[in-house]
Structure 1
Amino acid sequence: MLDTVAVAAEDPARDQPWADLGLKADEYERIREILGRRPTSSELAMYSVMWSEHCSYKSSKVHLKQFSELPQETPLGKTLAGIGENAGVIDIGQGYAVTFKVESHNHPSYVEPYQGAATGVGGIVRDILAMGARPVAVMDPLRFGPLDADDTHRVLPGIVAGVGGYGNCLGLPNIGGEAVFDASYLGNPLVNALCVGVLRHEDLHLAKASGVGNKVVLYGAKTGGDGIGGVSVLASETFDADGPAKRPAVQVGDPFMEKLLIECTLEIFAAGLVAGIQDLGGAGLSCATSELASAGDGGMHVDLDLVPLRDSTLSPEEILMSESQERMMAVVEPGDVEAFLAICAKWEVDATVIGEVTDTGRLHVDWHGERVVDVPPRSVAHEGPTYHRPLARPSWQDALQADRAEDLPRPSTAEELRETVLRLVASPNLCDKSWITDQYDRYVRGNTVLAQPSDSGMVRVDEETNLGVAVSTDCNGRFAKLDPYAGAQLALAESYRNVATGGAVPLAISDCLNFGSPEDPAVMWQFAEACRGLKDGCAELGIPVTGGNVSLYNQTGETAILPTPVVAVLGVVDDVTKRTPSAWSSAGETVFLLGETREELSGSEWANVVHGHLGGLPPRVDLAAEKALAQLLHEGVGLLTSAHDLADGGLAQSLAEAAMRNMVGVRVTVPGDTFVGLFSESAARAVVTVAAEDAERLRDLAARHGVPLTELGTTGGDALVVEGGFEVPLLELRSAWMTTLPAALA
């Protein structure tokens, strides 16, 4: 007989597998207090997934709340939807809005690389769709262990194939991202996925179940046994071998069904048939029902017997926990249900009315005529545990910061400098990533303006006015380990700068905060400092945090990943036909360095690649300088013939990438110490070019914005030439840059 609400009230002492489901003893007792009885097995399943780290943010929300204190203004106006919604929505002018968000699918992608990564893309796309937007592009910030490690060879090809396979089938261009290698990610690859969507202001939809008597419609794929617990459990604690559901924890994706779901949903939106909508991602039906109910009128009744199943043996607990993909839940007025179902039938998308909105203030779920769930929905969705985890600056931090890379041996001859340039461009983090990006369709839909390897991705939003948006994701985990406060701000600054180099005005950020175990006080200190750094950085730059994601427990044994607060910045471009490219394309242009170079080598790629060293203090953060540089780059559209930010690898890497892009060489004079000038990773810098006759105009522009300007040289020839030092033919440079990944992964 089923474990029903009535039985639960009459049988308070029954043992329940709360620990196997990842709940703590005090959490289980709190559930009993909320309900005034022990939970049914279905209620226990719901609370376990919704109170998991991934869904409830129980260790992180005390630190995340400071983002809500930021002004929700952008340079164009107010944020239309922010933290707490499926994704942030910002005004970009001309009646258009853009929604974007970045999330993690780290642990599932380690367990099953292809499906873990594929369903990560699918999940973030549905978040964007649920806001009323058409998804228009995706990005994928990735982190792996060492390139030569066996496990990297296991996970990387599958993850890349999963990202590309799902996105390509959806017809969404992949316009950017990262692929970073570090020993700390061995056993903990990071698969972060971003999606951008476009909508008109009036098309915005929110996740709420309002209107007593309105119908609850589940539509999309049938519910199966894959993803039981899924990301909600894998991202915190997993089932034991003897746990209650011995089923695959990683979801299985069907991108062709998702494509039908997208087009079906957009037609439903256009017909005005939705009163509220939510995608089914982490925690599946448990999440969709409880969140919709708690954000609306507070009551909902659902009959699980009506849920279309792929597996008729599923128990009610498994149906509630399943994270099967390609599913959505809509709240529809009774008079619109027939039209709603007709559109679904047109697109061959299964749709079933499984319940209705009530005024009970309770979430009621029935199964075979018996009530298996009777809970206050807010207690499931929004009132989970809040932990004030102990945090402490680690005892090793002082010694780490004292171990400066600036004190390491340096190349001293021209030949040594030349070899260092070649070694760095061929290193895993700086080499050509086309082995990865060539597996992605970057130009499908025909509106991609910039994609890899440009500094940022850019897509056209309006084909008549050429209004567009640019997006970049960035993070240097080494900087964040040296100083998590400054490291988070440097991630923000680099992403902000990358968007600006194309000529866009940065508007807002989304973040994906990837850290180790929250039960480690040192990790919680890193997390708290990174959040504080992001909040202070956004306040100074004047841009809001519109939403994001936290991924914790990314560690193996005692070894945590580098703290990796990935920051995505979105900017607006008035006319994408007038963007600034990332590389020069002709000879005779004058090359300038914008910004100030300091002796800042700690945490750099030079220290990492040449010495295997991590120590010292990261580059100085100067957000006022970043803002001035961004303003100059925006005002310089039409004057600048190219603009490329300086970050990993410093000036040497930036010059090499810009020269190799169109195979047009460059001859430069590096002021001061040549080694520092080439390999320092000082922030707030960019390399730009102008026509020779426009050099004075650039000098005036830089002076007006207070941005330091240094003339470096001239484009042309077939080599990278450093005057008074060395030269590297572009063919040799390109060969070193392009062969690393194919040689390692062939």
Structure 2
Amino acid sequence: MTDPAITPDLVAAHGLTSDEYDRILDIVGREPTFTELGIFSAMWNEHCSYKSSKRYLRTLPTTGPQVICGPGENAGVVDIGNGLACVFKMESHNHPSYIEPYQGAATGVGGILRDVFTMGARPVAAMNALSFGSPDHPRTRRLVHGVVEGIGGYGNCFGVPTVGGEIRFHPSYDGNCLVNAFAAGIARSDAIFYSAASGVGRPVVYLGARTGRDGVGGATMASAEFDDTIEEKRPTVQVGDPFTEKRLMEATLELMVTGAVVSIQDMGAAGLTCSAVEMGDKGGLGIRLDLDRVPVREDAMTAYEMMLSESQERMLMVLDPEREAQARAVFDKWELDFAVVGETIADDRFVVVHGGETMADLPLSTLASSAPEYDRPWDPTPPPDPLGHVEPVDPIDALRAIVGSADHCAKDWVIRQYDTQVMADTLVVPSHDAGVIRVHGTDTALAFTADVTPRYVVADPVEGGRQAVAEAYRNLVARGARPLAATDNLNFGNPEKPRIMGQLVGAIQGIGEACDALGMPIVSGNVSLYNETDGRGILPTPTIGAVGLIEPAGSRIAGRARAGMVALLLGHPGTHMGRSAFLWCVQGREDGAPPPVDLQAERAHGAFLLANRAYVTACTDLSDGGLALAAFTLAEAGGTGVALDVSDQAVLFGEDQARYLLAVTFDAAEALMVAAGKAGVPLSMVGQFGGDSVTLGNSSAGLADLSAVFRERFEQVFG
């Protein structure tokens, strides 16, 4: 097959600018081959190079006494005691999931699981954060079904529990849904595997499934906006096989015990290209590949196709040559391909040979660490207009509207699609706050959560970034977990637009400030840009996934509110209605400023709750819907009514930060009030649990009535 001529149109089709192509000409000193153009396209696209964001990502706090490995590897690693570590990361699969919902979401799960077990960790938990368009948009129902079924189909077959996540709906996602997948695993803290190649002349080994044409150009597609040619991009979506991935995990973990693995890398975005280049670049070595040795499942595949294929369930490894036979035997046992496809070399070269011809010969470092880095123009987001008059609404009517909205109703239909109990270590299943798993063989547990409030971020990116971290922190604390670290998944529109770039810059600033203040460093993450269709961008959605440690496991806060318990508010009464769920769900408004985040108060209130968690039976943080929604969800989960001694609309529905609602016995309430006085934190009694109704001030409705709306609405719309 003759390679096409390199034309300006072909360069543009690969997502490269004319300036970037000129830079390639300077590097290569000649016109690149078609395969070389594809390699540059894959490595220099936004998805792999972070060329628009990395100067700002460097400002994030990434270290701490608990951090074993921060950003730059397949996943982040934190110490959890007992000689163990938690390995975790969150990553997007947005564009593929909009084009082909089932496979896009499924392979997003598969990819993030590989990131974890590539580090030597057995996956123990998964989460997802999903953003869809308006519930009445003609594509939304299909996308919801496809994405949820893809996540469940892959995760359930692989055998990892889904323990948390979030789902939101907004018209800004009509043309570009978001699928952010999180996975966490457990490894010995002295047996973490990294991707930097070492040693000259060592074998480079291909592991796992065979290479096909699925996913060719997927990383480049993920770094472009959508338009009316979207259906033409369907072949760039990968196809996953969870049963093969399960075997790949078992084989990989077994192989790691043998001592044969020098370095190892998942073949994710940009497939063989990215994995080989990153291994060589991190180790300061070159890589030579012979594509005739690559296991393929389709005839007549070209070098271009093999280098850019994103076929799933594949890994790349640098091997100790003395252990090759032992390593091969492991993969033969699991009926997976094992092929020596290249070697490490001393020169800074990336050499690709196919059919006896050199298809690519490039300076390797220029593809990764020397990729372009841009200081794009950005405009700060102007302050939002002050919140106008908010019409008073009967509080029960307002609560009914909120619990009956697609955003805030129960997601039972979704949770039923996921296996939440596989591995038998799940202690708290997906809910409003964090999910919890037992760390097998120890007396500790881990809590996981994922959060962001995009309507805050679009109004004030800095404050919205702070709030995303603060809410993740509160969700962990509300389970009795000490927050350890976070992973960020930064979903934004086109960074070439100064307004959008300003949102990204502001959100990263806010995230960094909050992570620093709350002792919750960012140890891994992903940036997903160009989330736009026909020039219309999504709401800025910087999702924060976070992990916390509960020790001992029995000290978790996971009880239920019961009749006769007191409702205590930790934090000040609400006043802030700007950008609230009340405005959006009840009055169809999105105006005002988001609530300010007092990071000192967040830390002080969280520390108080953790120090006094033995007194707390049940707890939730206050976020969307304020005190009213928090009280309802605590009561409804416990099968009891609740009466709040509050009638003021702002106090009931304000979304002021740094607050928790506690369900405690009367004796515990007395002890907590004394402790709060000594600690100087605000704590007040706001009501009592019991009965069969929900009462907000002078307004009341039956618990069963509201619960039916809350539990049935999602399935009525999407089931």
TM-score range, shorter-chain basis? Answer: over 0.9
1:41-82 deviation per Cα after TM superposition (whole angstroms, max 9, x unaligned): 111111101111111111111211111xx3611xxx241111
Measured in 2, the distance between the counterparts of 1:485 and 1:246 equals 35
Aligned to 1:227: 215
1:731 paired with 2:709, answer: no
1:348-388 deviation per Cα after TM superposition (whole angstroms, max 9, x unaligned): 11111111111122121110111111112121122111111
Aligned to 1:336: 323
Aligned to 1:592: 568
Measured in 2, the distance between the counterparts of 1:192 and 1:148 equals 22
1:501-552 deviation per Cα after TM superposition (whole angstroms, max 9, x unaligned): 0100011111001111111110001110001111111121222111211111
1:392 paired residue among 379, 384, 390: 379
Matches within 5 A, 1:282-681: 282-393=269-380, 397-398=382-383, 401-404=384-387, 407-411=389-393, 416-463=394-441, 465-581=442-558, 583-584=560-561, 586-670=562-646, 674-681=648-655
Paired amino acid for 1:49: A
Aligned to 2:19: 26
Aligned to 1:280: 267
Quick check: 1:52–1:233 contact (8 Å CA) kept in 2?
A: no
Measured in 1, the distance between the counterparts of 2:212 and 2:228 equals 21
Quick check: 2:238–2:310 contact (8 Å CA) kept in 1?
A: yes
1:693 paired residue among 667, 678, 692: 667
Aligned to 2:684: 710
Quick check: 1:595–1:686 contact (8 Å CA) kept in 2?
A: yes
1:690-731 deviation per Cα after TM superposition (whole angstroms, max 9, x unaligned): 2212222111232333321011232221222235x0222111
Task: Give the direction of change, closer, same or farther, for the CA distance of 1:213–1:558 in structure 2 (3 Å limit).
Answer: closer
Q: How far is the alpha carbon of 1:246 from its aligned partner?
A: 8.5
Paired amino acid for 2:306: I
**Unaligned runs of at least 5 residues, structure 2:** none
Measured in 2, the distance between the counterparts of 1:504 and 1:246 equals 43
Quick check: 1:52–1:236 contact (8 Å CA) kept in 2?
A: no
Task: Give the direction of change, closer, same or farther, for the CA distance of 1:363–1:239 in structure 2 (3 Å limit).
Answer: farther
Measured in 2, the distance between the counterparts of 1:16 and 1:557 equals 20
1:110-159 deviation per Cα after TM superposition (whole angstroms, max 9, x unaligned): 00000000000111111111111111111000001111211101211000
1:628-661 deviation per Cα after TM superposition (whole angstroms, max 9, x unaligned): 1211221122211111111111111111111111
Matches within 5 A, 1:137-152: 137-152=125-140
1:189 paired with 2:182, answer: no
Q: How far is the alpha carbon of 1:454 from its aligned partner?
A: 4.4
Matches within 5 A, 1:242-253: 248-253=235-240
Paired amino acid for 1:59: S
Quick check: 1:455–1:582 contact (8 Å CA) kept in 2?
A: no
Aligned to 1:218: 206
Q: How far is the alpha carbon of 1:674 from its aligned partner?
A: 2.1
Matches within 5 A, 1:128-167: 128-167=116-155
Measured in 2, the distance between the counterparts of 1:327 and 1:32 equals 32
Residue 79 of structure 2 aligns to a residue whose secondary structure is strand
1:639-690 deviation per Cα after TM superposition (whole angstroms, max 9, x unaligned): 11111111111111111111111212222312xx521121111111111122
Aligned length: 719
Measured in 1, the distance between the counterparts of 2:239 and 2:102 equals 9
Aligned to 1:263: 250
Aligned to 2:33: 40
Measured in 2, the distance between the counterparts of 1:741 and 1:246 equals 31
Quick check: 2:405–2:713 contact (8 Å CA) kept in 1?
A: yes
Q: How far is the alpha carbon of 1:410 from its aligned partner?
A: 1.6
Task: Give the direction of change, closer, same or farther, for the CA distance of 1:668–1:408 in structure 2 (3 Å limit).
Answer: closer
1:62 paired with 2:38, answer: no
1:179-234 deviation per Cα after TM superposition (whole angstroms, max 9, x unaligned): 10111111111000000111111110111111112111101110001001114423
Measured in 2, the distance between the counterparts of 1:19 and 1:560 equals 21
Q: TM-score, normalised by structure 1?
A: 0.93
Quick check: 2:198–2:262 contact (8 Å CA) kept in 1?
A: yes
Measured in 2, the distance between the counterparts of 1:242 and 1:306 equals 34
Residue 353 of structure 2 aligns to a residue whose secondary structure is strand
Quick check: 2:578–2:591 contact (8 Å CA) kept in 1?
A: yes
1:109 paired with 2:97, answer: yes
Quick check: 2:225–2:531 contact (8 Å CA) kept in 1?
A: no
Quick check: 1:141–1:191 contact (8 Å CA) kept in 2?
A: yes
Paired amino acid for 1:421: L
Q: TM-score, normalised by structure 2?
A: 0.97
1:322-364 deviation per Cα after TM superposition (whole angstroms, max 9, x unaligned): 0010000111111111111100111111111111111122121
Measured in 2, the distance between the counterparts of 1:418 and 1:536 equals 37
Measured in 1, the distance between the counterparts of 2:564 and 2:486 equals 38
Residue 164 of structure 1 aligns to a residue whose secondary structure is helix
1:86 paired with 2:64, answer: no
Measured in 2, the distance between the counterparts of 1:311 and 1:233 equals 22
Quick check: 2:352–2:361 contact (8 Å CA) kept in 1?
A: yes
Residue 615 of structure 2 aligns to a residue whose secondary structure is coil
Paired amino acid for 1:345: D
Quick check: 1:107–1:231 contact (8 Å CA) kept in 2?
A: no
Q: How far is the alpha carbon of 1:241 from its aligned partner?
A: 7.9
Residue 489 of structure 1 aligns to a residue whose secondary structure is helix
Measured in 1, the distance between the counterparts of 2:333 and 2:19 equals 49
Q: How far is the alpha carbon of 1:290 from its aligned partner?
A: 0.5
Q: How high is the sequence identity, in percent, across the aligned residues?
A: 42
Worse-matched range after superposition: 158-167 or 633-642: 633-642
Quick check: 2:206–2:338 contact (8 Å CA) kept in 1?
A: yes
Paired amino acid for 1:147: P
Q: How far is the alpha carbon of 1:250 from its aligned partner?
A: 0.3
Measured in 2, the distance between the counterparts of 1:100 and 1:115 equals 22
Aligned to 2:83: 95
Q: How far is the alpha carbon of 1:242 from its aligned partner?
A: 14
Quick check: 1:105–1:231 contact (8 Å CA) kept in 2?
A: no
Measured in 1, the distance between the counterparts of 2:422 and 2:376 equals 46
**Alignment root-mean-square deviation, CA:** 2.0
Measured in 2, the distance between the counterparts of 1:307 and 1:18 equals 27
Measured in 1, the distance between the counterparts of 2:454 and 2:481 equals 26
Quick check: 1:213–1:334 contact (8 Å CA) kept in 2?
A: no
Measured in 1, the distance between the counterparts of 2:511 and 2:300 equals 47
Paired amino acid for 1:262: M
Measured in 2, the distance between the counterparts of 1:487 and 1:15 equals 41
Measured in 2, the distance between the counterparts of 1:149 and 1:705 equals 50
